[in-house]
Amino acid sequence: MLEIKDLAVQYGKQSPTIEHFNLSMKKGEIISVVGESGSGKTTVIRAVLGALAGGGRVTQGDITFHGESLLKYSREEWRKLRGTKMSMIFQDCGGTLNPIRKIGSQYVEYICTHSSQSKKEAWKLGTSMLEKMRLPEAENVMNSYPHQLSGGMRQRVGIAMAMTFNPELLLADEPTSALDVTTQAQIVRQMMELRDKSQTGIIIVTHNLGVAAYMADKLIVMQYGKVVDAGTRDEVMNHPTNDYTKRLLAAVPEMEGERFVS
Ligand SMILES: Nc1ncnc2c1ncn2[C@@H]1O[C@H](COP(=O)(O)OP(=O)(O)OP(=O)(O)O)[C@@H](O)[C@H]1O
């Protein structure tokens, strides 16, 4: 479904931020990209979404989605793809919500921008998506301002919005790092449920190897913009080839009292 081949990305005149990045993803697969701050994880997923910040540009390689190069996409083609076939969730979805508008009005606008539904239908769809994400009192949530919700609830709103049109690919940038451990575990389980039900492929970027190992079918470990280990979860967890991966593994945090290392 998604192929990234020998990708390099450069910001301004700096030396390339990522180089020789490869990834191959099938429908419904979960791939985790792990690595410390600044290793280039966010750059990878922003490149996939055609949304590199700060003048970042692809200088080598290709990104294909169902065999078509995304690098050749026009603005209009991107507009059609984003939000429907491909969507993104961030570390703090609250940050992407407008603080002075109620959730419901923002959600309805989001749905109406990406489909031809009436406002009434959009409200119904938004509410049902919030219910699917197990938000209690979904109508109340729709009538709330972002600051009236907890961080975990806002994150569920963000995931609900991203999942509205059953995307084939969900790009998740540190989706649980702003949350406490219990909420983190709930959100992780809900994302996995979405994959099981809708066959959504997920790329999750995180510095938390515990979360990555728990969720992922495949792991990619990055350091200084390069892939230092990659393979199935069990390959990387049980037979790391790189010293950095070994150090990360030794420091795997606990999630719900379990270490996600077999
Ligand atoms: N908007 C930008 N303008 C210029 N350089 C950038 C920009 N964004 C990222 N970079 C460069 O790319 C490097 C990697 O950043 P990136 O955000 O991809 O890393 P990361 O692994 O996701 O880190 P973090 O976990 O802190 O988000 C940075 O150290 C910086 O040199």
Q: Which atom of ligand 1 is nearest to the CA of 205?
A: 22
For residue 186, is it within any domain? no
Q: Which atom of ligand 1 is nearest to the CA of 42?
A: 22
**Residues near 203 by beta carbon (within 8 Å), at least 6 away in sequence:** 23, 25, 30, 31, 32, 33, 44, 45, 48, 169, 170, 171, 172
Residue nearest to atom 12 of ligand 1 (CA): 17
If one compares 223 and 250, the residue with the highest pLDDT of the two is: 223
Would you state the structure tokens that stand for residue 32, as one six-digit string? 């985790």
Residue nearest to atom 3 of ligand 1 (CA): 54
Would you say residue 261 has pLDDT above 60? no
Task: Give the dihedral sign, CA 245/249/253/256.
Answer: positive
Task: Give the dihedral sign, CA 86/193/204/134.
Answer: positive
Q: 224: Cβ below 6 Å to ligand 1?
A: no
Q: Which atom of ligand 1 is nearest to the CA of 40?
A: 18
Residue nearest to atom 24 of ligand 1 (CA): 37
Amino acid occupying residue 217? D
Q: Which atom of ligand 1 is nearest to the CA of 35?
A: 21
HSE-CB of 80 using CA atoms within 13 angstroms: 5
Q: 35: Cβ below 6 Å to ligand 1?
A: yes
For residue 66, is it within any domain? no
Range of the structural domain that residue 124 is part of:
98-164
C-alpha 117/C-alpha 119 separation (Å) is 7
Question: Across all residues in the chain, what is the average pLDDT?
Answer: 88
Q: 46: Cβ below 6 Å to ligand 1?
A: no
C-alpha 53/C-alpha 125 separation (Å) is 32
Cβ pair 89, 162 in contact under 8 A = yes
Q: What distance in angstroms lies between residue 218's CA and the mean position of ligand 1's atoms?
A: 23
Q: What distance in angstroms lies between residue 140's CA and the mean position of ligand 1's atoms?
A: 37
Choose the weakest-confidence range: 3-12, 28-37, 153-162, 247-256: 247-256
Q: Encode pLDDT of 87-139 as tens digits.
A: 888 776 666 788 999 999 999 999 998 889 999 999 999 999 999 888 889 99
For residue 9, is it within any domain? no
* Long-range contact pairs involving 37-43 (C-beta distance under 8 Å, separation at least 24): 37/207, 39/222, 39/223, 39/224, 39/225, 40/9, 40/222, 40/224, 40/225, 41/173, 41/205, 41/206, 41/207, 41/222, 42/173, 42/205, 43/9, 43/17, 43/18, 43/225
C-alpha 252/C-alpha 262 separation (Å) is 12
Place of tokens 């719900």: 256
C-alpha 235/C-alpha 241 separation (Å) is 9
Would you state the structure tokens that stand for residue 237, as one six-digit string? 């967890």
For residue 56, is it within any domain? no
What pTM was estimated for this model as a whole? 0.87
Choose the weakest-confidence range: 160-169, 222-231, 243-252: 243-252
Q: 223: Cβ below 6 Å to ligand 1?
A: no
Question: How many other CB atoms are there within 10 angstroms of residue 17's CB atom?
Answer: 21
How many domains is the chain built from?
1
For residue 40, is it within any domain? no
Q: 132: Cβ below 6 Å to ligand 1?
A: no
For residue 228, is it within any domain? no
Residue nearest to atom 7 of ligand 1 (CA): 54
For residue 190, is it within any domain? no
For residue 116, is it within any domain? yes
Q: Encode pLDDT of 130-153 as tens digits.
A: 998 888 899 999 999 999 998 888
Residue nearest to atom 5 of ligand 1 (CA): 11
User: Which H or E element spans position 69?
Assistant: strand 68-69
